[in-house]
Structure 1
Amino acid sequence: MSLKQQASHGTEVDERLAALVTNANAVRAIASAVEGTLGPKGLDTMLVDKFGEVVITNDGVTILTLMDANHPAARMLINIARAQQEEIGDGTTTATVMAGALVGSGVEQVARGVPVARVIEGLRAGVKRGLEAMQKRARPLEDLRDPLVRRVALVAGRGHEDIADLVVEAARLIGRDKLVDRAFRFADTVCAEEGADNQVFMGVIINKEPMNRQMPRELTDVPVLVIDDALEPEELEEEALATEAGFARYMELQNQFRENIQKIIQLQVGLVLVDRGVHDLAEEMLTDAGVMVVQRVANKELRRAAEHTGARAIKRTGLKKGLEQIRGCLGRCRRVFHDEKLEQVWVLDGSGKPMATVLVGAATAEVVGERERIARDAASAVQAAVRGGVVPGGGALELAVAREVEQVRAGMRGMAAYGVDCVVEALKRPLAQIVANAGFNPLEKLGDCMAAQVETGNDALAVDCDTGQIADMYQLGVVDPVLVKTYAFKAAGEIAEAILRIDTIIKKREEKEQGPKEAADFGSR
């Protein structure tokens, strides 16, 4: 082949790889933005917006969702991290770092001449074997008093002892049955407030105040009414009000509304929680009757309050029913009070489902958000650990799984083995990054750990980030939920495959919105 032909061939290869390299660079840029936060010695990241507002955090998903990323491949990676947060609530940084390593290794193999299809074939086989290997190493947590439960909270809570203690106490109050319920999100029970004291209590917090200061500040042993609607009269159209019949209907609705409010008073309801607004007449009548009314309650808080008090939410039309029917929709709580300092209403000791709340105190407004994120991570990790069990952390699990995935290579035909190599390299990445963030040589420590695991047969060996020595992660109390690991690994494999499959990037044309006439003309063609 002549020099000219070689140059031409090289240009064709470069053009064919252009989309892949562009996407890989975007993914690696995103991964590099969060990899410095990984591990116990990971550092914080500062995010600054155009107005100078600052967020300082160590939380991977917060960094990813707040950072300014316009590249489509970068947004794909961010969406994977967001999905991990929604499903598991922790492990987003690990997923991002492994995805970056998978894509980077995959691009290197393609650049060497390995067909993308073969890389993907090996990648799939490696990820499948890796997930099986992770799952079989899980150690179940049957008892919430197992010391490993607190260790999970402490690791996910970045070493904050007070937060770990709060989360574990709340988990024990809620109970194992509730924690394994897929519809229940333990992280939603966490809130942080400036100036608040750390505490766990059986109840829910409504982040609203009563409608006026004449309403009672505190009530005990009261029925609770939850209205998933506005507490207002039924509405009539303006055209109807212009007629005599319409005005008569309006007056009828007003009288009926007054009767409905009187029913609430007759039933001796102490607390009324309303999804939307409350009419002035209802506010006046209920205030005079000594009822605490909270309007425009967030849907999530309204639902939790209904579950905890045993109330069945009703619409405004439900108040037309008889007293006994309405009584059957009421919940109950032993105590409700208005915390004027925190501007909240606390509903305590409801007669419905147990619902613990974790209140995390913060000294200043600047650290409220970060304290809440840390506590939510800890709560999510504890719930995941109870649901699926735990595995050794610190990168030990991934390193042990990498050795097992390497065995898949021998059974692969042709160039697919190079795809397996990508998975092996990605599995080594978490330990290497944790060690690097702790100030040690990752290549040296990686080799030491692999040799120690093989020699002793102990898959829990990794690096003690304080001393740099090889140590058993279970003995150090460095454990992670297996669900966090498997979901992160699976997500990394999916995003890597999706990006490696992109061969061409084409800008979409902008579609103009059709007007009524254009749409009609188009339909008649």
Structure 2
Amino acid sequence: MSFGGQTPTIIVLKEGTDTSQGKGQVISNINACLAVQATIKSTLGPYGGDLLMVDANGRQTITNDGATVMKLLDIVHPAARILVDIARSQDAEVGDGTTSVVVLAGEILKEVKEHVEQGVSSQIIIKGLRRACTMAVNKIKEIAISTENEASDSDSHRETLSKLAATAMTSKLIKRNTEFFTKMVVDAVLSLDQEDLDEKLIGIKKIPGGSLTDSLFVDGVAFKKTFSYAGFEQQPKAFSKPKIVCLNVELELKAEKDNAEVRVEQVSEYQAIVDAEWQIIYRKLEAVYQTGAKVVLSKLPIGDLATQFFADRDVFCAGRVAPDDMERVVQATGATIQSTCSDILPEHLGTCGVFEERQIGGERFNLFAECPEARTCTLVLRGGAEQFIAEVERSLHDAIMIVKRAIRNHSIVGGGGACEMEISSYLHQFADKNVPHKQQAIIKSFAKALEVIPRQLCDNAGFDATDILNTLRVEHRHRGHTWAGVDFVHEGVADMMERFVWEPALVKINALQAATEASCLILSVDETIRNEESAAPQGPGRALPPGAAQRALRGRGRGMPMR
């Protein structure tokens, strides 16, 4: 309704709400993502640096793992947070390539920023990027080398997995000990059930002290000695082929009297109750002993009475075993967790070849080795500093995930920027010949963005990036060398397949798709509405009372002017 030729002002959003929109908003979002990319890109590749991150509590983390860095960066810009999501999804889906995916997404946005500034519609850019991504993924599938035949031959299959694990480790702290850890990682993944391949069943225990090469691979389960009561030292600490019982029962005297209220009139009646409590716990302990088990484990506490009872009968016991450790013992020994001490049958017991309690560094560990079921294993990591061991664990996680994916997906591509350069070359040639309209520039921008991977690898290694990239372009476009990539040994160009720098094709496909999706999402946002917690003052010391905007809107319906 118009009053006196003037259109009344309509307040829709809460006071203090910040709104910004249009081309400037898209460019602002792109700049925020480029700031994140600038932080993380120096960690890419074999010669990438590490970041020292300190949180609000002063806890330090030294890492070059993309997913960890993105998780620890306290990013407040809403658009830049999308990069955190793609790093996490890459880590969950593949386990490696987390830095690459953020660097790629940032570079795609950087290349299309020029088109945005020139006024090209975001929808045209998004369409072009999606088309380029589809073509790139199809090209990867086309050039990828299948290892299907090698999967049937155990030796060559193992060698392929070792090469993939070694490539995943080249950019990590443990690259100097690649050979040592590669064997450990491949052994660990192959020890799992090949149907499930649940990496949670690979236990990783960290013990400060010693050198990296003092790390152990246990083909079974190892966990730190649990809290123990008097009598524990009298128990035997080593068995050969013992029977193992796993319980979810509390073996403590106090457990019974908490469960009931009893009124007594004579002292003899009270004594009968006390005797009954002792009889209950003794019956439980006797039932466990009669199973013939030599190792008793429980998720719940095993008290001092039970500990001494087992010690007198040459039985080892451990209470308060962590649930994940107990799950791995069950998987390794074939035992079944029991929630009662009665009716434990022989088939409920597990067994292992050797059980022993051993001193490792400053800790005592219980080890179950030579297990018949052995669908689990444990890596005991050693090292000088806790920060260092934590980074080794993150590095091994990436390598384990790569090997796991390689067992499922039998196709590999060359690393060292070879795959990206080949796709870039293909897209450039395709755009020149087959894309006549304005999407041609978008596809070319996408192709140019892919070159960021080899360029950043060169920059981080201190090489002449321009020179090496020019050589790579010639190799890929004119000489047809599909697997030409950055040679870190002789500072030049080499065949990545011959150098055994291999990566699963899945890593590249997932990274490209995630980076493109993130870029399209950021480009499609052209308005941000930020609701502040408290309304900003209106004029000198005046704040709009709660609900004023709604009342104003209601008032307009009754023909009232809005001031």
Category of TM-score, reference length = shorter chain: 0.7 to 0.9
Q: Could you say which residue in structure 2 is the equivalent of 1:206?
A: 223
What is the SS of the residue equivalent to 2:357? strand
What is the SS of the residue equivalent to 1:344? strand
1:185 paired residue among 178, 193, 199: 199
Q: Displacement of 1:210 after TM fit?
A: 5.7
Q: Could you say which residue in structure 1 is the equivalent of 2:243?
A: 223
2:132 paired residue among 108, 114, 126: 126
Q: What is the RMSD computed on CA atoms of the aligned residues? A: 3.3
What's the TM-score, normalizing by structure 1?
0.83
Q: Could you say which residue in structure 1 is the equivalent of 2:495?
A: 472
Q: Is the Cα contact below 8 Å between 1:114 and 1:415 reproduced in 2? A: no
Aligned positions of 1:56-455 closer than 5 A = 56-139=62-145, 140=147, 142=151, 143=153, 145-146=155-156, 147-158=159-170, 160-169=175-184, 171-172=186-187, 175=190, 178=192, 181-185=195-199, 188-195=202-209, 197-209=214-226, 211-212=228-229, 213-214=232-233, 215-228=235-248, 230=250, 241=261, 255-314=279-338, 316=339, 318-320=340-342, 322-324=343-345, 327-340=346-359, 341-388=362-409, 389-406=411-428, 409=431, 411=434, 414-455=437-478
Q: Which has the larger displacement, 274-283 or 54-63?
A: 274-283
CA offsets, 1:232-261, max 9 Å, x none? 6897897952678xx999997875454233
- Looking at structure 2, the residues matched to 467 and 352 of structure 1 have their Cα atoms a distance apart, in angstroms, of 47
- Looking at structure 2, the residues matched to 336 and 491 of structure 1 have their Cα atoms a distance apart, in angstroms, of 46
| 5+ long unaligned stretches in structure 2 | 1-19, 265-269, 535-563
Q: Is the Cα contact below 8 Å between 1:154 and 1:161 reproduced in 2? A: no
Q: Is the Cα contact below 8 Å between 2:206 and 2:380 reproduced in 1? A: yes
CA offsets, 1:105-156, max 9 Å, x none? 3333222212111111111122122122222333325255334433322222
- Looking at structure 2, the residues matched to 281 and 309 of structure 1 have their Cα atoms a distance apart, in angstroms, of 27
Identity over aligned residues, as a percent? Answer: 25
Match of 1:219, as an amino acid? Answer: F
Q: Displacement of 1:413 after TM fit?
A: 7.4
**Given the superposition, is the C-alpha separation of residues 117 and 243 from structure 1 closer, same or farther in structure 2, using an over 3 Å criterion?**
farther
What is the SS of the residue equivalent to 1:350? coil
Q: Is the Cα contact below 8 Å between 2:257 and 2:277 reproduced in 1? A: no
What's the TM-score, normalizing by structure 2?
0.77
Q: Displacement of 1:15 after TM fit?
A: 4.2
| 5+ long unaligned stretches in structure 1 | 1-13, 512-525
Q: Is the Cα contact below 8 Å between 1:120 and 1:416 reproduced in 2? A: no
What is the SS of the residue equivalent to 1:73? coil
- Looking at structure 1, the residues matched to 467 and 436 of structure 2 have their Cα atoms a distance apart, in angstroms, of 32
**Given the superposition, is the C-alpha separation of residues 144 and 220 from structure 1 closer, same or farther in structure 2, using an over 3 Å criterion?**
same
- Looking at structure 2, the residues matched to 76 and 237 of structure 1 have their Cα atoms a distance apart, in angstroms, of 55
2:33 paired residue among 4, 27, 36: 27
**Given the superposition, is the C-alpha separation of residues 417 and 323 from structure 1 closer, same or farther in structure 2, using an over 3 Å criterion?**
same
What is the SS of the residue equivalent to 2:352? strand
Match of 1:152, as an amino acid? Answer: L
- Looking at structure 2, the residues matched to 394 and 290 of structure 1 have their Cα atoms a distance apart, in angstroms, of 58
Q: Is the Cα contact below 8 Å between 2:205 and 2:380 reproduced in 1? A: yes
Q: Displacement of 1:193 after TM fit?
A: 2.7
Q: Could you say which residue in structure 1 is the equivalent of 2:561?
A: none
What is the SS of the residue equivalent to 2:348? coil
CA radius of gyration, larger in = 2
